[in-house]
Amino acid sequence: MSIAVLFTCAGQRVDIVTAFKLAGARTVAADINPLAPALYHADEHVSLPRVDDPGYIPALQELVQAYRIRLVVPLTDLDQLVLARARDALGAPVLLADAEVVERTRDKYLAHGFFLAKGIPSPPTWLPDELPEELPFPVLVKARGGFGSRHIYRAESWADLEFFLARSPVESMVQKVCAGEEFSIDVFCDFDGRCLNAIPRTMIESKGGESIKGTTIKDWELIEHGRRVAEALPIKGPATVQCFREPDGALPITDVNPRFGGAFPLPLAAMSRYPELALALAEGGRPEPRLGEFREGVVMTRFFSHLCLVRDADGTLVPFSEELPEPIASETGNE
């Protein structure tokens, strides 16, 4: 019997919903927006209240009961903290780190302090009212609670820094710009926080904070670094660890997002089998770590796609068949 998986804030994550379906799950996608594309690639789809609505968790509880959900998978940052705090009341496991870890990774300054305390490198970082007189320009003005590379500004001088700090609409911190090459490491951990795999990839090109071109690499230093970071937090389920390899060999962590990353198709194509691992956890299994078991040299280049919808007889939106019509007969054809 298929395991029913509920995806919250499904949005545009057609790739993840489809991958779980191919792995054998019965997929239920939920979103407040009826035009969220991922809804129409799931076996079932439902509407939910806003994440900040008091009825959000009760609505999820009803869905868990109605569809016999065995695993809840958040697909964006929007409801992570709400779900983490309510995980014991939902009636199904949540593929997400504990609330304190979600809070720690959401607040980039708290994450910075945590990493340093654990002996994990992190770029020099300051709050605006604690800046040293000798700043190592260039620096970045970054949102403490940002995601998707929003509200990040590069300052080359004190004048730039004061300008951006005065105009940023969110609470910010200041961070030294890292040198060297940037990498992302897609990790997956079990519910005990053991890292089951860590797949590094290059950052050939990114847009809006998400990688759109990259290559998997079997770099054992990065694999071990991703494992160490994931287990230190600890992560439960997926996360994307971002770091730089600086000229002196240091690997400072610049961000950790405790969810499937935007570049999910790349580790999937590299045979990560993360959806299968998630389903095994939902069944109560305890898969053994498989660090380094993936295909290196897989290159991803992402592109836009689309979905067309029409209303059926009762007004419900359904996917539109895009089969080509019959060819138009030529008025000058031979007889």
pLDDT in tens, 1-15: 799 999 999 999 999
Q: Can you list the residues of the chain whose pLDDT is less than 50?
A: 335
pLDDT value, residue 150 = 80
Q: Which pLDDT score is estimated for 330?
A: 55
Q: What is the pLDDT of residue 335?
A: 46
Name the residue type at position 93. P
Please, what is the Cα angle at 231 between 113 and 61, to 5 degrees? 95
Domain ranges for the chain: 4-96, 97-122+179-328, 124-176
pTM of the model: 0.93
Give me the architecture of the 97-122+179-328 domain, per CATH.
2-Layer Sandwich (3.30)
Q: Are strands 4-8 and 125-126 parallel, antiparallel or unpaired?
A: unpaired
Please tell me the CATH code under which domain 124-176 is placed: 3.30.1490
* Amino acid 23: pLDDT: 98
CA 279, 281, 285, 287 torsion: positive or negative? Answer: positive
At 27, list the tokens: 């997929």
Residue of 277, 278, 198 lying closest to 242 (CA atoms): 198
Could you say which architecture CATH assigns to the domain 4-96? 3-Layer(aba) Sandwich (3.40)
